[in-house]
Structure 1
């Protein structure tokens, strides 16, 4: 470790002693680590490009002003979302990109040349960063690593992650405002369901349906699986998948006879060119999305079930599972599961208002579709 440190210092012409430009703060990240931030955070490396969903809600006027590098996932995982940002901020095409810490392709020496004040990582990469001693390597050069999480345990860590970003950027009031808006929108759903006594619709979440030939990836009692429960449904995989992510076989789906099927999707043209996925997202082509959703409902796991043709098959933007925007998905699913109870709720208006209050981009509909009955 010591030899590695001094070789990097020599390469970069850095002193191992870094000046402190502001009073230090200590932040507890979602992994429980106490992280000292010694100076104002002006230069950030995003360990995942989709972290811009959060950062943009804080630095709304200039969402990339602090970003000196980011992981290369956004154009792959959310091509439509990436294009929306690129069209308004074309300079992002020149941002240095990185591989992922989880798969061991994060380039430490490249990161150091950018002299970041902070590297932001997602919680699911924690085991890999520990194994590769990435935290120690960066820490030895005065570069802290902070973990946030909207994917593994969002119902436990989403608000924490928003608070953490507020601390890091010196914008705690902004964090409070975002959290308050989120909670108000979730409360609209949960308050109405408090006295709901009828059976809850059984729901199959088809995670990234069509992305792979095998059927079907899904969620346990977290992330989209938990969103279904909050929205007043019964996630059929809740007791079949022990963690956040897992797989159901077609026989399990047929046996469960879900009342509602929800496929998560996005524009994954840079990940998977087979194009079996449902490309919902900002400004998505709804006609194409419906055609693909109809094909997915013709798979063996669904084609014999009423849900394939009775108007209860839907698709929703996959990235609700990895962003601060879960409240929108909860409202959308509540309307699908209980249309009469939530007939006055408009999730499009909710998401548009959030964009107007917190985000730098204008709202573009297209984040969800419903396959009409008889299709």
Structure 2
């Protein structure tokens, strides 16, 4: 009788221990789950809970893949879009026959699911809302990074560093970006700003406030001649006469090799003949000889590939140096571009992406 009573009392004493042990285990499991995810705010302000660290991302938009590679996290990307994969020399690790779609607006959701992706990364001008609906049943997260959005650079690189567990590398990249921008801003503080007409690879397709070229122009120290354009003009081609009327001091034109998919860039630079012809064609446009830019021979070309480097930092520093060579004597765009390609992308520096070359 006494033995049975003792056993009963012993069981009663052990129950709280088992319960506490079970609770502790539950808490440890909850913490482990928490440690395996991270909540970040993306480029369009969405709070997204991602697996941590991200190991199997698919990425749309070449600029995004470049930023990820600059942070040392490209091994966490398992597939990209065709606009990226087409550049066989620059993205040799990605198979053009195994892409996630043509571009950020034309995605193959079945392929993304088939690849077993954890997260789809795409820019704000892609179909991220549709992607979220299509990929939710597969448990695949959608996160917006817009590699062309210069103004949101620090937030986006910080996000990349966090999600891929590459925060030190991201901090190094942010420092590289900020130093020339701060130098330009300080050096041009009291300088009268030059008026800029920027044209994409499409004729008369220019920049308006808030678009992805606008901040590049601002960071270069220039003033967009369409800075005050009415809203009904935004996103549309502009009239040649309107450009002449607004009289830019400098004209910058994007160029890409003919074999590139429309609107995309290639590591291979456009030919000198194409750059020369582009400049001459601009100068021959009706009435453009009346602009300060043409009168003073201030017409320059940048490749679609080159200008977009480091979230358009590369385009900004070349434009700045072309416009303000005397005020920016310590700015060396060639060296900044070399660092971008060699130190952050792992490729040799290529000539021919910015034309004419910077005067030494």
Which one has more relative contact order, counting CA pairs under 8 Å at least 6 apart?
A: 1
User: Which whole-Å CA distance do the structure 1 matches of 2:267 and 2:90 have between them?
Assistant: 13
Structure ID, larger Rg:
2
Q: Does 1:139 align with 2:139?
A: no
User: Which whole-Å CA distance do the structure 1 matches of 2:190 and 2:245 have between them?
Assistant: 29
Q: Alpha-carbon deviations, 1:7-64, whole Å to 9, x = none?
A: xxxxxxxxxxxx979621111111221111234322111122442211211237xx3x
Aligned length: 325
Q: Alpha-carbon deviations, 1:69-88, whole Å to 9, x = none?
A: 22111366xxxxx24315xx
Q: Give secondary structure in 2 for the equivalent of 1:262.
A: strand
Between 174-183 and 324-333, the greater mean CA deviation after superposition:
324-333
Identify the match of residue 161 of structure 2 among 166, 178, 187.
Answer: 166
Identify the match of residue 59 of structure 1 among 72, 75, 87.
Answer: 72
Aligned to 2:356: 370
| Unaligned ranges ≥5, structure 1 | 1-18, 77-81
The 8 Å contact of residues 220 and 316 in structure 2, kept in 1 or not, is answered as yes
User: Which whole-Å CA distance do the structure 2 matches of 1:90 and 1:175 have between them?
Assistant: 22
User: Which whole-Å CA distance do the structure 1 matches of 2:177 and 2:63 have between them?
Assistant: 19
Q: Does 1:221 align with 2:232?
A: no
Do the aligned partners of residues 161 and 363 (structure 1) sit closer, same or farther apart at CA in structure 2, a change above 3 Å counting?
A: same
Aligned to 2:223: 234
Identify the match of residue 289 of structure 1 among 275, 287, 292.
Answer: 275
**Pairwise CA distance, 1:278:** 12
User: Which whole-Å CA distance do the structure 2 matches of 1:322 and 1:123 have between them?
Assistant: 16
User: Which whole-Å CA distance do the structure 2 matches of 1:281 and 1:129 have between them?
Assistant: 27
Q: Give secondary structure in 1 for the equivalent of 2:310.
A: coil
Aligned to 2:13: none
Q: Does 1:335 align with 2:294?
A: no
**Pairwise CA distance, 1:249:** 0.8
User: Which whole-Å CA distance do the structure 1 matches of 2:219 and 2:41 have between them?
Assistant: 28
User: Which whole-Å CA distance do the structure 1 matches of 2:64 and 2:217 have between them?
Assistant: 24
User: Which whole-Å CA distance do the structure 1 matches of 2:157 and 2:258 have between them?
Assistant: 27
Given the two structures, how large is their TM-score scaled by the length of structure 1?
Answer: 0.77
Q: Give secondary structure in 1 for the equivalent of 2:286.
A: coil
Superposition pairs for residues 1-375 of structure 1, below 5 Å? 23-59=36-72, 63=74, 65-74=75-84, 82-86=87-91, 89=92, 92-102=95-105, 105-125=106-126, 128-130=127-129, 132=130, 134-151=131-148, 153-155=149-151, 157-196=152-191, 199-208=192-201, 211=202, 215-222=203-210, 223-240=212-229, 242=231, 245-271=235-261, 282-300=268-286, 302-308=288-294, 310-319=296-305, 323-370=309-356
